[in-house]
Amino acid sequence: MAPATVTDASLEFYGAAGRVTGSCHILRFGKRTVLLDCGLIQGGREDESANADEFPFDPAAIDAVVLSHAHLDHSGRLPLLVRRGFRGRIHTHDATRALLRILLYDAADIEMSVVRRENRRRAERGEPLAAPLFLRDDVEDTLELVHGHRYDAWFEVVPGVRARLLDAGHIMGSAVVQLALGSGAESVSLTYSGDLGQYDSPILRDPVTPSGSDLVVMETTYGDRCHRDFAASLDELANVLEQAHRAGGNVLIPAFAVGRSQTLLYLLGKHFHDWRVDRWQIFLDSPLGIEASRIYWDFEHLFDEEAGELFRERDFMPKLPNLHFTRTGDESKLINRFKRGAIVIAGSGMCNGGRILHHFRRDLGRRGTHVVFTGFQPPGSLGRQIIEGAETIEIHGAPYPVRAKIHTIGGFSAHADQADLLRWYRGSGEAQPAPATYLVHGDPKALTGFQTHLARVAGVQAHVPRSGERVDLRRLPESGHGPVRS
């Protein structure tokens, strides 16, 4: 077989084009095909039903996957890809490989639980039964294909395509993917941001930007706005705890098991005395979050300087003597004894399943309850309904009133905001002209907001691709000039 050249190369946008979740992009190089991520679509029931649709490619014809990080909106359809015939390698960071084991098995268990509940209703109506998206056996088959790598170490993805992973600062093991296609004068460099974290956030290091890219594909989850200042967000959380204490209620925090849960525990420990955290009983009500925390500590060499020093001094993160890990369902139910004085951190972060729903059923109707959202809630999701002021929500087919006080604290987001995105892009946009730039992983408002912002501050004409749009890597569109001005 003759070696492929960039004359045979293209990139096709599939998942997370024009939306936030379901990341998946298709790189073709000669007769080889590589996926960048393969994630679940998350949000409302109609959105999530699309996860069972056929892929716009033959899974058996995919040669490899390069996975940016473990969150399910980037990794969650990998078991379905394998179930439908994929047998290539899945390349990712070593920490992501460790996190995938717990996240994908958990996703399979939740999928079975949802299908059983749905099939009970269907059986009562005499309707055809639903099938799960994938099973634990599919997860096991998937994990056998995963190959872990270190940051900043080049590896071959397929012949003619090399890649390296750089720290994205989003969650442990999250990576910016830099790809080199071909060699010599005809080579092309492509950078895929995955999900980017905030600069100067706790525990993790700042995101890294590779320079000299010909094409940049970047996320824009918060491309139209800036988070509240981190110090102000700390004050806001402290104030929420004070309000809830005075109101005599509990604090419920829907949190991603990987990333947000560890950050919240770190902050509660760090501010244990000045926030008077000793007045509370803290529950990490998430077997997945507990396991993810253990994996975080296993990769302490990836911590930022402050977290690394704390780890070395105390052999753990800041101490929380009133922290309880509730692994089993029976332990979780015992939290019901607390009518007040409990901080409950439970999954899922997008409120599309998990134990947080059981706490919502019990506590959302109480006026003394305070609910703190610290992460993005996709349109149509239960979390978005609550944030937008729904007076009644539906959980497991039954209505529940919302009387609790709702707080959204964006400063704790694991996602870069508009200023962070621009700061990250600056590293790849120093060249004259700027790289061809494509914006993905954002709702329409965020996408167009960042597109407009880039044009105004940098003269860069970024493109917002449609799902299914294909870019010929021989003829990249001009994005304008650089460097990016502050």
The angle formed by the CA atoms of residues 439, 21 and 154, to the nearest 5 degrees, is 65
At 186 the pLDDT is: 78
At 2 the pLDDT is: 52
Residue 438 and residue 473 in contact, taking contact as beta carbons nearer than 8 Å: no
Q: DSSP characters for 44-82? A: SHHHHHGGGSPPSS-GGG--EEE---SSHHHHTTHHHHH
Confidence label for 413 from pLDDT (cuts 50, 70 and 90): confident
pLDDT in tens, 152-190: 999 999 999 999 999 999 999 999 999 999 987 778 999
Please check the confidence at residue 475 and state whether its pLDDT lies above 90.
no
Residue 105 and residue 78 in contact, taking contact as beta carbons nearer than 8 Å: no
Highest mean pLDDT: which of 138-147, 255-264, 315-324, 325-334? 138-147
Confidence label for 3 from pLDDT (cuts 50, 70 and 90): low
Confidence label for 4 from pLDDT (cuts 50, 70 and 90): low
Residue 254 and residue 260 in contact, taking contact as beta carbons nearer than 8 Å: no
Burial letters 270-305, b for 16+ CB under 10 A, else e: bbbeebebeebbbbbbbbbbbbbbebbeeebebbee
Q: Which helix (H) or strand (E) segment is 451 a member of?
A: helix 444-458
pLDDT in tens, 6-59: 668 999 999 889 888 899 999 999 999 999 999 999 877 778 888 999 999 999
At 98 the pLDDT is: 97
Number of neighbouring beta carbons within 10 Å of residue 128: 8
Helix (H), strand (E) counts: the chain: 14, 21
Kindly state the tokens that stand for 40. 């679940």
Q: DSSP characters for 83-118? A: HTT--SEEEEEHHHHHHHHHHHHHHHHHHHHHHHHH
Which residue's entry shows tokens 């969150």? Answer: 71
pTM recorded for the entire structure: 0.87
Q: Strand pairing partners for 11?
A: 27, 471
Q: What is the 3-state secondary structure (H, E, C) of 278-303?
A: HHCEEEEECHHHHHHHHHHHHCHHHE
Please check the confidence at residue 225 and state whether its pLDDT lies above 70.
yes
Confidence label for 482 from pLDDT (cuts 50, 70 and 90): very low
Confidence label for 320 from pLDDT (cuts 50, 70 and 90): confident
Conformational region of residue 13, where left means phi above 0, alpha means psi within -120 to 50, and beta covers everything else: beta
